[in-house]
Amino acid sequence: MSAVASGADKRTALGRLLSAYWYPLYCCARRLGRSPEDAEDSVQGFCARCIATDDWRVDPAHGRFRHWLVAALR
């Protein structure tokens, strides 16, 4: 799939990507001291905001995508 998709294709691809990172983000939230329920809510809300927002400023020159995700979750 092209990195430059539009509309529903972009949201679908982003949804798949975030579902792959859901558990690692959940583990990160737990390590930050959140209860299991709060961690689930935090990650779900974060993923929902990521899908709803079309304003991604991820620059590969600034590091790995997963590090960006963890920083954004915090």
Residue type, 71: A
Task: Give the residue from 20, 57, 26, 32 showing the smallest Cα distance to 44.
Answer: 26
E-strand spans in the chain?
none
34 or 56: which carries more pLDDT confidence? 34
pTM: 0.72
Q: Within a 10 A sphere around the Cβ of 41, how many other Cβ atoms?
A: 13
pLDDT in tens, 8-51: 787 788 888 888 999 999 999 999 999 999 999 999 998 888 87
Distance CA 4, CA 10 (A): 8
